Structure 1
Amino acid sequence: MQLPDESAGIDGIARTLVAAFDQADIVALGEAHQRKLDSDLRIAMVRSPAFARKVRSIVIECGSTSEQSTLDRYIRGENISLAQLAQVWKTTTQAANGFCGSPVYLDFLTAVRDVNSKLPGDAQVRVFGGDPGPGDTRSRETAAVSILKEQVLQKHGKALVVYGAAHFYRNLTKDYLSSMGDDIGIARMLDIDYPGRTFVVIPVGALDRPPAVKVDLDPDYQKFDRALKTQVRPVLVPLQRLPYRDFTAEEFLGRTVTTCRGPGGCRSVFKGSTLTLGQMADACVYVGGSTEVDTKAKPGR
């Protein structure tokens, strides 16, 4: 995919990602859970006038497949009580983790609802809950992939997908993948039947480290800063571009996927891995090296 070398600021990144739908059918936008910056970016995308002309489907992690009718009614503009709407995220498999209750996810749904209110019915955007709710026996990622295949790709449509970034990594270590069962990654699963149709974007930058996780290699964000022309953060950069392509996943993604199995306590699954950022995703939203960006954000899996 052809991308600008750098797309700076929320609005600049949003324009580039909406334009990416001209070359891809699925834009997989990875997030750090609960981070307002990530929320601002996806809201800027859906509010772009070009978005609804190109994209009619959005699939979200913080939405239950069993509450699709409630979600549809809200997105169409019907009157839904907050208590009823909350069942959309409270009946997901991630309800116990609590992150889906963050206001940023309701803000996003409200933004889509507002955009739809200005569109005719046949031009509105539909939001699908991708997480298996009660009675849905599919695994988490299998459910999302089934929806994308049946509702989007088989109908020759386009979709924005919003999940924790680790669900989109194109590669993971063999030991970790062998422990994941069917859930080997949404982008990896889509690439099996629809190769080259998914564009993966992940966040890179400072996040609070979970206190139990041991990370032997602290990221040197100056490597990013020195290679960038713009001083604006966040900035979107393609990960097939040097030098970012060859930066190691262990250094810059080491806190995003962890395991507590085996001796030695909790640790990054990338420890000792030779995987690079260029092998993980197509582009990244670099937020900088300061945790002041949002100290409440959590690595997303």
Structure 2
Amino acid sequence: MRDSQVTRRGFIAVTGAAGLLTASTPRVAATPTPNLNQAVLAAFQHHRLVALGESHGLQEHGDAQQLLLADPRFPQVVDDIVVEFGNALYQPLMDRFTAGAAIDDAALRQVWRNTTQSPLATGDQPIREQFFRTVRAVNWTVPPHRRLRVLLGDPPIDWSRITTQDQVDAFLAQRDAHLASVVERDVLAKGRRALICYGSGHVMHSPAPGHNADHGVPLIEKRTGQRVYVIVAGSHPRLAARPRRSVIPCEGTWLESTDAGRFMDAPPLCGLPLGKLADAVLYLGQPTELTQSSWNPAIFLDPAYWAELQRRDAINGNHIDLEQYRQAQPTAWPAPPPVSCAGQ
């Protein structure tokens, strides 16, 4: 736990909400839609855990994360950031790096390249490395007791010891349970607060007993009794007039009852109201405005790295078209096919 805890009065000052409590502040007819920074900081006033669900590889989501991390108020109310895109095997290395130690680039790249998702997802998009380097830069500006700690949430797979698909599957089966264990052991048991940055599928609430029960946030909530405030990224024509990076609460709005399957482009969620799965929506723009963070194809000309990706693909049954990594990718975000839910 930090040396100086944030009091409620101090928290209000940090989040910028103090002005709402002054008698001289004039009343307005409508409250402006908060941006992501404001919404996350306000959520931590009532929750020790806030989850930010993403669509992997979306540049605008990475940009929003950068702005949040760079907000000088953020390290005053958050202790840890739990990320999906980092292998827990390298936690000691990440701790040293974010504290300012000199870490060789080749060693650092192992954090995002050697996850359970390789070789389907290599983590080589610029937004991944940029995330870790931004945390390191932020930590230069704050006292040691307020440094942000990045907790790597992917299970500690050691690819140098992996030779079979069964070994890979054993680690894949641990992904959500490992997230829950990290949060329980390294955040809550130490009296700390954490932002959880994972794919939306891992962080959505359980809408009914047994549904999503083995996913990350439902496991955390069941094991610890701590309710997580969940923000998922999403788009809809009705949000077009909102500023980008706006966060709209589900409760009390049309989002509360909208079909999650159509809204999230996820057929398994058809028939479920969005308000049962998430507390708020992060609006980053209409689909035609969105872009993807693409890797540099030259990365994959490294013979040693390429050979290792081929080895991993062979373990997985050669199901992945590795040649795509050596090709330039389009800037536009690939729009998923529209989801048609029954009765919609």
TM-score by length of 1: 0.77
Q: Is the 8 A contact 1:6 1:236 kept in 2?
A: no
Unaligned runs of 5+ in 1: 178-182, 206-220, 256-267
Give the superposition deviation at 1:173: 8.9
Aligned to 1:166: 201
For 1:106, the equivalent position in structure 2 comes to 129
* CA shift in 2, pair 1:189/1:283, >3 Å: same
- What is the CA-CA distance between 1:95 and the residue it aligns to? 2.0
Report the Cα offset of residue 176 of structure 1: 8.0
Q: Does 1:222 align with 2:237?
A: yes
* 2:275 is equivalent to residue 249 of structure 1: no
Correspondence list, 1:34-113, <5 A: 34-98=57-121, 100-113=123-136
Decide which of 231, 246, 260 is 1:235's aligned counterpart. 246
User: Percent identity over the alignment?
Assistant: 27
Matches of 2:116 and 2:335, distance apart in 1: 17
Q: Contact 2:234–2:283 at 8 Å: present in 1 too? A: yes
| 1:290 paired to 2:287 | yes
Is 1:33 the equivalent of 2:56?
yes
In structure 2, the CA distance between the partners of 1:6 and 1:287, relative to structure 1 (3 Å rule), is farther
Specify whether residues 13 and 175 from structure 1 end up closer, same or farther in structure 2 by C-alpha distance, changes over 3 A only: closer
Contact 1:34-1:298 within 8 A present in 2 as well: no
CA distance in 2, matches of 1:26, 1:297: 31
Amino acid of the residue matched to residue 31 of structure 1?
Answer: E
Q: Deviations over 1:65-103 (max 9, x none)?
A: 111111111111111121110111122101212252211
8 Å contact from structure 1 (residues 32, 298) kept in 2: no
Counterpart-to-counterpart distance in 2, 1:96 and 1:172: 32
State the 1:57 CA deviation. Answer: 0.7
Q: Which residue of 2 aligns with 1:281?
A: 278
* Cα-to-partner distance string for 1:229-283 (whole Å, 9 max, x where unaligned): x54223210011221111101211134xxxxxxxxxxxx223xx32011011000
Q: Which runs of 5+ in 2 are unaligned?
A: 1-16, 18-29, 159-169, 292-331, 337-344
Aligned: 1:198 with 2:228: yes
Q: Does 1:188 align with 2:218?
A: yes
Give the strand-richer structure, 1 or 2.
Answer: 1
Partner of 2:301: none
Decide whether the 8 Å contact of 1:18 with 1:45 is kept in 2: no
Separation of aligned partners in 1, 2:97 and 2:31: 38
Distance of aligned partners of 1:254 and 1:26 in 2 relative to their CA distance in 1, 3 Å threshold:
same
How many Å apart are 1:172 and its aligned residue? 6.7
Alignment size in residue pairs = 256
Between the two structures, name the one with larger relative contact order (CA 8 Å, sep ≥ 6): 1
Q: Is the 8 A contact 1:59 1:130 kept in 2?
A: yes
Deviation track 1:96-133 (CA, whole Å, cap 9, x = no partner) reads 12252211011111111001112222221111110012
Please list, as runs of the form range in 1=range in 2, the aligned pairs for 1:15-26 lying within 5 A after superposition.
15-26=38-49
* Structure 2 residue identity aligned to 1:43: Q
Q: Secondary structure at the match of 1:95?
A: coil
Question: How far apart in 2 are the matches of 1:6 and 1:169?
Answer: 26
1:120 aligns with 2:155: no
Q: Secondary structure at the match of 2:150?
A: strand
Check conservation: 2:112, 2:128, Cα contact below 8 A.
Answer: no
Classify the secondary structure of the residue corresponding to 1:105. Answer: helix
Distance 1:176 1:279, change over 3 A: closer
| Larger CA Rg, structure 1 vs 2 | 2
8 Å CA contact 2:258, 2:274 repeated in 1:
yes
AA paired with 2:218?
R
